[in-house]
Amino acid sequence: MENRLIVALDLTDGSKALSLARSLANYVFAVKVNWPLILGSGSSIISEMSGFVKVICDFKVADIPNTVRLIVEKTRDLGAYATIVHAFPGGDSLETAVQSAGGMKIIGVVAMSHPGASQFVNPRRSDLLDIAKKAGVYGIIAPGNNPDLLGELRAESSGLKIFAPGVGVQGGSPVEAVRAGADYIIVGRSIYESESPVDEARKINDQVSSVSAPQ
C-alpha cells in the first residue's frame, strides 16, 4: 500500500529541514514546506529537496489570478510535486492555479484545522468545495482533527484526494483521520520535534497501514 504520511517541515532553518527531509525520505509519501522555510533559506530548497523526495509547497496561495499564476509557475519550475492554494478567493484564482501548474498538482483548501476555522471558513466548506471541484484541483485539504467534517468532505468530493493536516499536536489521530477518509495525513511538530523523527514516522506508518478508508 502507498505510504500515507506527509511530514510538515515547519521550520525556518534550511539545513535542519534538509537533513530531516533526507532522513525521512524513505518513510514518507512527501514532505510539506511552508513560507517560513522559504523566508529563512530561499526557494532553492524546493528544488534541492525535490531531488530525493516529493515536495508539497503549502503556500496557501490566496491572491488575484495574476499573482497566483506567478507563484504557481515558480513552484512548478522549482520541481514541486504539489502546491496548496485557497479556494475562497474564487474560481478565477483557483482555475488560474490549475491552468498554470503543468505537471504539478494543485490542492485546494476548503476547510482548515485551527480553532478559528470554525468562525468563518469551515461553515462555508460546501461553497468552497464547489469552487475547488469546478476548478479541477487534484485534491483538497480537510482537517485531520475533525473526522466528522473530513468524512463529510470525503463523501462529497467526487474522488478528489484528501490531504489531512492537524494530526498530532493539533489533536488529530492518524488512525481516525484515515478511517474518516484521509488519503494522506500531514504530521508536523510531533515528528520533527521528537527525539527520533524516523522512529516516530515509522510508528505512524505502522498505525495506519492496516486501516481501511471508506469506499
Q: Judged by CB, which is closer to a copy of itself: 111, or 208?
A: 111
Q: Does 60 qualify as catalytic in the annotation?
A: yes
Q: Judged by CB, which is closer to a copy of itself: 35, or 206?
A: 35
Q: How far is CA 186 from CA 4, 55, 98, 120, in A?
A: 9, 13, 22, 23
Which spans of this chain sit near a copy of itself (rule: CB under 8 A)? 10, 12, 34-36, 38-40, 42-43, 59-67, 70-71, 74-75, 78, 86, 88-93, 109, 112-121, 124, 127-128, 131, 170
Q: Judged by CB, which is closer to a copy of itself: 27, or 80?
A: 80
Nearest approach in angstroms of CB 28 to a copy of itself is 20
Nearest approach in angstroms of CB 211 to a copy of itself is 25
Nearest approach in angstroms of CB 94 to a copy of itself is 8
Residues 83 and 7: their CA atoms lie apart, in Å, by 15
Nearest approach in angstroms of CB 152 to a copy of itself is 19
Q: How far is CA 208 from CA 41, 61, 140, in A?
A: 33, 30, 20
Q: Judged by CB, which is closer to a copy of itself: 11, or 182?
A: 11
Residues 6+ apart with CB under 8 A from 162: 139, 140, 142, 150, 153, 154, 181, 182, 183, 184
Looking at residue 27, the DSSP 8-state letter turns out to be G
Q: How many CA atoms lie within 13 A of 154 on its CB side?
A: 22
Q: Annotated active-site positions, please?
A: 60
